[in-house]
Each structure stands twice: as C-alpha cells, then as structure tokens.
Amino acid sequence: MSNSNWSRRSLFRAAAGMAAAGTLAACGGNNGRGGGSGSGVGLTQYFHAYGEQGTEQAIKKYAKAYDKANVTTQWITSADFESKLFATLLTKNAPDLFEFHPQIQLIRSGQVADLTDIITPVKDDFNPADIKSHTVDGKIYGVRMIDDPQFFFYRKSMLEKAKVDVPTTLDELAEAAAKLATGKVKGLYMGNDLHNVIDTMIWSAGADHLTEKNEIAYHTPGVIEGLKKMRKLFTSGDLLLGAPTESWDPSSLNQGLCAIQFCGMWAMPGIQAALGDDWGVFPFPKTIDSGKQSVYNGGWSMFVNAKGENVEAAKEYVKWLWIDQKKYQEEWATNFGFHIPPRTSLAQTATKLKSGNAAEGVRLFNEFGHFDNIGWTQAMRTALEDVFANSVRKDMDPEAALDKADTAVDRELKKLFG
C-alpha cells in the first residue's frame, strides 16, 4: 500500500516538475534566436524565400561565419513575408534585422534604425540611385544588398518562326502576343494578376508615381490610355492566365507555356539552363507614342529593427556582411540567380554579368531603369493594384478606377506628409 501511495505521489511530483520545466522552457520559446556559431549576443534576421537553389544555405553560411553574434535566419515563404514581417515588428519577437524595400512608413513609425554612420564611409561606392532611394532627411536607413532589374524574356526561335520583331511599343507587344499564340502556347505572360507590370506601364507612359513634392503623378491621360490597351490585351485570349507559378518564376517560359514572359534578371541562370541560347530580353515597351521604354530596378535591402534589443550589434552585423564582406556580396549577387551588386566596384568586376544576356540586362538597367521611391508605400501600391484589378481585369472605367485610387493615395500622403 504504502509503496503504491509513494509511487503515485512520486509520479505526481515528477509530472509537476516536468510541467514546470516545460513552462520555463516555453518562456524561452521559439523566438528564433540562438543556434548560430558565434558567441555573445543572439540576433535574428528575416529573409523571404528566394526561388534560386542555394540561397538559403548561402545566407546561413554567412551568418555562421560571423563570430561576434549568434545570427539565426528565418526563411519565410514569399507570399507570407510582408504580412509576417509587419505583424512581428509590433511584438517583442520582432527580428533584429530584416530585408525589405525602402518605404517611408517604416521610418516614420520608428521601425528602422538610421544606418548613416556605417554607410557614409563607402557611400560613394554605392549606386547613387540606391542611396537616394534609402535616404530621408539626409539619413540613410538601409543597405542595398542586390538590384533586380525586371523586363521581358522571350524565346528567339518562336519570334523568328512567327516573323515577329522585338516589340518597342505596347501595341506591338499586343500584336506579337496575337501572332505567337498557338493552340498550346500563349503569346505572353505577365503574371496572373499583372501586378508586376504596373510600375513599368506607368513609367513607359511618361508618368511617375509621385512628384518631387510627393503629390500624385500617375493619374495622366497616357496612363489611362495604357490601361485601356492593357484591358484589350487581357481580353484578347493571347495572354497566359491561371499559370501555376507567378511571373517571378520563369517556369512558364521554360516549360513552353508562353513565348514572352515578364520576369527578373535573377531568373537568367535558370532560363539559360532550360533554353540554352534560345532567349533574349527587352524592356517594357512604350505605353504611348510620347512615352519611353522602362525597366523596374527592384531589389532587396537590409534594415535594422530600431526597436530591437540589440540595435548596435545588428548594425555591426549589417556592416560586416553587407559592407565589408565583398566576396560574400558578389557570391550572393551572381552565384545563384543573377542580380546587379549595388556596389559600383563589385558591379564593374562581376565577370558573370559581362557577357551575353546578363550584359544586356545590365545595359537595360542603366539605360531604362527606375528605382523605388521611398515615399511610395505599401498601401499606395495596393491602391494601384486595385486599379489594375478593377479596370484591366474587371472592365471598370480606368478614369473612375484611378479616381478611387487617388482617394486612397491622398489619404496616405496626408498621413505621411501632412
């Protein structure tokens, strides 16, 4: 009897002890920290999941090589990245550093730290447009890691067979799509929602998102005409719609689902492997006669969470990796997908970008490129995405769709700039 009683109590005590230990362990929780090889402080960094093989391992390799902090990486599914990042930034589990695009609301809400002191010594070696797009009131808030020009990729043999020249206007692009569309192959793919070509269509219409004084600049007759042309293209039946992968993935072109696809320079190695030399690139064509071809110079930058517990340690890591370690920067830019290094010295010596279509991509970047406007926020982007959804995909009057966007963008501008 007594043994049994003792046994039950022991069991209870053991269970209680384990529960308490579990609770304490849970307090440490899965906050993503720890696990690195360095000593001292623990840092967490967020990256969106890049599509190119080897990228995740590379980022973790760089983190492991840093010996002044334990740097842990969270590799987040691309579609969830922005939502997770923004929501987590409001909590104590926010990452110490994260990649994103320059946007003023991050600065106004005090979410990103001033990195001027670590960039200033090498400022002249960065692409001036990259520095400008990260600067507010003379302070620089992010370090550009890669520049990603985005344009059209096309199958040379398909265009030759259909006797189609590389289009230089939006009308020619529509005609090319019609001629290239066959029973099994669609002429053109710009993504299922067409959102990736919004910016380039606006620039190719000779307009811009905002003026220098941060007023609306996209609501022009040229953009309205462009939207009407895009609607015609959308309903032509020559456009690939409902593809399994979005336009950032070159699979639709590689698998022969389309003859022309909008994508980014990062896809070049993958396309080369799939199609050999049977491909070329061209910028987004002129939307209207008075417009100009354009290329979106996207990319990713590294920011430090200003509200984090280890701001200085995070800044040191950013400086170490994205300013001092030029070997890693070149590897990151050219060993997986192709990206243009934002450091001029690296961009000039990157041998993989000096020939063939990669060199052509660099030329388009330099000649037709447009960089991010730091005042153009995520909410404003959504407003223009709604314009495309409403007027191009759903047949709403473009003028009315733009009016509606104006209301949303004005509300944002008022809150940000007064």
Binding site for other proteins (CB under 8 A): 79, 82-83, 86, 89-90, 105, 108-109, 111, 184, 192-193, 195, 234, 240-244, 257, 378-379, 381-382, 385-386, 389-390, 393-395, 404, 415
Q: How far is the CB of 51 from other proteins (least distance, A)?
A: 16
Q: How far is the CB of 228 from other proteins (least distance, A)?
A: 16
Cβ distance to other proteins smaller for residue 176 or 240: 240
Cβ distance to other proteins smaller for residue 354 or 394: 394
Cβ distance to other proteins smaller for residue 94 or 323: 94
Report the distance separating Cα 196 and Cα 201, nearest Å.
9
Q: How far is the CB of 31 from other proteins (least distance, A)?
A: 18
> CA-based Rg of the chain, rounded to a whole angstrom?
25
Q: How far is the CB of 293 from other proteins (least distance, A)?
A: 26
Q: How far is the CB of 246 from other proteins (least distance, A)?
A: 10
Let me know: does 317 contact 325? Beta carbons within 8 Å.
Answer: no
Cβ distance to other proteins smaller for residue 129 or 379: 379
Cβ distance to other proteins smaller for residue 5 or 351: 5
Report the distance separating Cα 134 and Cα 140, nearest Å.
5
Residue type, position 147, single letter? D
CB neighbour burial string for 248-265, b if at least 16 within 10 angstroms, e if fewer: bbbbbbbeebbbbbbbbb
Q: How far is the CB of 203 from other proteins (least distance, A)?
A: 21
Let me know: does 405 contact 386? Beta carbons within 8 Å.
Answer: yes
Identify the sign of the CA torsion 362, 368, 371, 372. Answer: negative
Which residues lie across from 304 on neighbouring strands? 97
Cβ distance to other proteins smaller for residue 166 or 416: 416
Q: How far is the CB of 392 from other proteins (least distance, A)?
A: 11
* C-alpha pair distances (Å), 85 with each of 69, 92, 241: 22, 12, 29
Q: Which of 324, 340, 208 lies closest to 332, judged by CA?
A: 340
Cβ distance to other proteins smaller for residue 278 or 385: 385
Let me know: does 373 contact 298? Beta carbons within 8 Å.
Answer: no
Cβ distance to other proteins smaller for residue 91 or 351: 91
Cβ distance to other proteins smaller for residue 95 or 222: 95
Cβ within 8 Å of residue 111, ≥6 positions away: 89, 305, 306, 307
Q: How far is the CB of 116 from other proteins (least distance, A)?
A: 22
- Largest separation between any pair of C-alpha atoms in the chain: 97
Which residues lie across from 97 on neighbouring strands? 45, 304
Q: How far is the CB of 110 from other proteins (least distance, A)?
A: 9
Let me know: does 298 contact 264? Beta carbons within 8 Å.
Answer: yes
* C-alpha pair distances (Å), 263 with each of 148, 164, 233, 308: 10, 20, 18, 35
